[in-house]
Chain A
Amino acid sequence: MEFITNVFQLMLVDRRQVVLSALSEHVVISMTAIALISAVGIPLGILISRFRRYAQPVIYITGALYTIPVLALFGFMIPVLGIGIRPTLFALFIYGLLPLVRNTYVGITGVDKSIVEAARGMGSTSRQLLLNVELPLALPVIVAGFRTIVVMTISVATIASYIGAGGLGDLIFRGINTYFLELVVAGSILVALLAIVADGFLGLLEKYLLKRVH
């Protein structure tokens, strides 16, 4: 019990400034990475659903990138991208790509064939087909992929601290390196909270979208 109060004392009073700046850095890093992933991942998913012979290779490559351990990736990248925010974003980007590309692709290709045929029969152009039929029906699957990358990015961004990009990982690593367990726990709680809040918010969004689709 005393331990828990110590943790909150640390978070809310003693090191409030440090905690706040780490939290805001974490949010900025994660949001930027998520924006980058979305900007590339969703179009790429749509593209490979149009040109299906590229689908398997693209998913295979993003899957292979997904399996590289984060720390090893930082190791490779230090000579090329240096330290700080750039290599961090690059790593988060590589990790987030697979779930979003795959879900976008699977969502679109999973739309009931008879619906697609019906839309074609009614004279839809392929642009209309995509925007008015396929994407709306695929939306729940795409949003599910988006939720995955949001939670994952927030949690993986902890390691950003390893190469100088800041964020809540600073608290965790600092705690480990100075024998300060409370600091480790404080950092971890905040990462978890951030992920839970973001996921909860997206859950609501998902419900709303589902209602509109059906």
Chain B
Amino acid sequence: MKLCIILLAAFVCVTAAFFTGTVFARSDDQVILTSKPFTENYILTEMMVELLENDTDLSIVNMAIEGGTTSVLHPAMVAGEIDIYPEYTGTGWLEVLRHDEVIPDPEELFDRVAEEYLERFDLVWLPSFGFNNTFTLAVRQEDAERLELETYSDLAAVSDQMVFGSEPDFYEREDGYPGLVEAYGFEFRQTSQMAIALKYPAISQGEVDVINAFSTDGLLKTHELVILEDDKNYFPSYLAAPIVRKEILDAYPEVGESLSRLEWLITEETMMELNYQVDELRRDPREVARDFLVEQGLIQ
């Protein structure tokens, strides 16, 4: 009995000591990056990690937050729990800043978002990676041909026969499902929600007929899907860029210098190809990121 109590006490002490020592400690020269939970963001973050490790002497941590949608990551940035992650201008404008005004010019949107982030949250938008990953709607090629679908308006006309599938996030976002339905008058027969990565298998297997896709998705080409045209310009532009806490940039100017080497480096086609390598060819996002940087001559 005594032995048992002693053992238990020892166990408690050892783990507690180990834990407070290692896990809670956030050392001084540490920069914490994270990504939103999908392929493209994983790759972008791995690129930044790789580059920062190469260019600086800081301790770079890549924290996996698999529930890390903007609604989770933004408060964590403001609270200083994380320092850097890749975000998209449209998302920042609508979801974080809560504006409903439409700004069609991508550059102007970027400037407005960057300005307001700095003012309100002390967060800095570094120059864009160079591509726009907007939302789009995709249908199976056979349906597109059979029903002669080219635009969202075409789709609206036959939407009562279709099942719409999307991640939970999309139903709640400012730029998401409710506004889309309002803009085009969609009347889908049914809607269903699933993890981002399950949308492609779901539409291929006929579980759903329409999905919201990202325009840089690598799987659009392998799953024989057709992207429809947003003929009423419902979706804003989504230029991808790193957001960094200003405190970090002030304390370690080398972070900003290093990351600015990614400025306008990645086109939409390139991003689609990189996504394809992870989603279809099943390569590790870290390796894909590293190979790309080597290819661009940014690291050895």
Contacts and interface: CB of A to CB of B under 8 A. Distances in A.
Contact of A162 (B16, B39, B67): B67
A177 B42 CA distance: 10
Interface residues of B, number: 42
17 contacts: A15-B284, A28-B18, A28-B22, A35-B11, A39-B12, A78-B72, A82-B76, A83-B72, A83-B81, A85-B24, A132-B1, A162-B67, A164-B68, A176-B198, A177-B37, A177-B42, A179-B280
Interface in B64-100: 64-68, 72, 75-76, 79, 81-82
Contacts, number: 104
B103 interface: no
A139 interface: yes
Main secondary structure of the interface of B (DSSP, over half): helix
Contact of A38 (B8, B197, B198): B8
A136 B1 contact: yes
Contacts of A132: 1
B79 A161 contact: no
A139 B5 CA distance: 11
Interface of B: 1, 4, 8, 11-12, 15-16, 18-19, 22-24, 34, 37-39, 42, 63-68, 72, 75-76, 79, 81-82, 195-198, 200-201, 219, 278-280, 282, 284-285
A83 B65 contact: yes
Interface of A: 14-15, 28, 31-32, 35, 38-39, 42, 71, 74, 78-79, 82-85, 131-132, 135-136, 139, 161-164, 166, 169-170, 173-174, 176-180, 182, 209
B23 A85 contact: yes
Contact of A82 (B19, B22, B79): B79
B86 to A, nearest CB: 15
Residue of B65, B66, B75 contacting most chain A CB atoms (<10 Å):
B66
Contacts of B279: 178-179
Contact of B38 (A166, A177, A209): A177
Nearest to A83: B76
Contact of A35 (B15, B200, B282, B284): B15
A163 B76 CA distance: 10
Contacts of B200: 179
A85 B15 CA distance: 14
B15 A32 contact: yes
A177 B197 contact: yes
A74 B67 contact: yes
A31 B15 contact: yes
A162 B219 CA distance: 24
Contacts of B18: 28, 32
Given A78-B72, A164-B34, A177-B196, A169 B1 contact: no
B19 A178 contact: no
A210 to B, nearest CB: 13
A179 B68 contact: no
